[in-house]
Amino acid sequence: MKLKLIAAAVALFSWTASASAVYVETNEANGEDSLQTILDGITVGGSSSIDVNADQADPDDVWTNTDSGISPVRFVAEIAGNAGINSFGIYDPNNPGTMFTIFGGAATPGALADFGLDSDGSVFADLGGGFSDTGVDFSSTDFGFFMSTAGNTFYSQTLLNPNGGDQMVAYQGGNGDSIDLPGFGNPSPWTEGGWIVAFEDQIYSQSDKDFNDLVVFIESAVPVPEPGTLALLGLGLAGLGAARRRQKA
């Protein structure tokens, strides 16, 4: 019975972790490298252990800094007609109009920046000239990612996007891969503290769904669990505990 309870708990957690996966197109009929090809291309010694459809992180809506409180961000790829105007940055989940741009339209693969949030929500960044207070203040230390393009801004929080579409996917390391990022210089392990974040730059329902339009690598950041997911998991575990107590009785 104990093993059954553990299995049920794992199944419940797995269900919550995969409930919102979005389809990523891997066909390259348009002649562009797919997101899967991009990940395979930065992987040393073979194909990536990541499957862009099966291994999406969930949740990936809201994030926070970890470790030192500073998150390095490296521009990996941008395959888009709007490459010259697309921009990437962070925003305040409690006030999405409060934003800070990390990479502008002129950024190219290999570009590097660092950002972090102080305990009062102040955004600090190093875009090449040393760390400084950007003058942008968030309401907390949480943040989301955004991509701005021609006529639209897309957010990591799906509820902020047109038709509630999922415009961003994220993938966590820790599977034993080594990667060679543009501009990095040397291959290094892709640890669980590193994330690939990739955006689709057209409204999802009208797009080619390739998510290769802007790809970045981020370290020392972690998704914030969604309250609804935690509540659901808590209810499920409580139910399993009650069943266990009844079994003992």
Phi–psi pair at 95, nearest 5 degrees: -155, 80
Nearest to 202 by CA among 152, 138, 141: 152
- Confidence bin at 249 (pLDDT 50/70/90): low
DSSP bridge pairs for 87: 148
Of 21 and 19, the structure prediction assigns the larger pLDDT to 21
70-110 pLDDT tens trace: 999 999 999 877 778 899 999 999 999 999 999 999 999 99
Region 40-54: what's the mean pLDDT? 98
The first and second tokens of residue 188, run together, are 């290094």
Region 103-124: what's the mean pLDDT? 96
Distance CA 43, CA 39 (A): 6
In this structure, which amino acid lies at residue 223?
P
What does the pLDDT read at residue 67? 75
The first and second tokens of residue 79, run together, are 């395959």
User: Contact 100/134 with Cβ under 8 angstroms?
Assistant: yes
| Statement: residue 243 has pLDDT above 50 | no
| Three-state DSSP class for residue 199 | strand
CA distances from 207 to 31, 212, 215 (A): 16, 12, 17
- Confidence bin at 45 (pLDDT 50/70/90): very high
Nearest to 218 by CA among 45, 40, 76, 55: 76
The first and second tokens of residue 54, run together, are 């099966």
The pTM score is 0.85
What does the pLDDT read at residue 83? 74
Of 142 and 84, the structure prediction assigns the larger pLDDT to 142
| Statement: residue 18 has pLDDT above 50 | no
Mean pLDDT, rounded, of the chain: 87
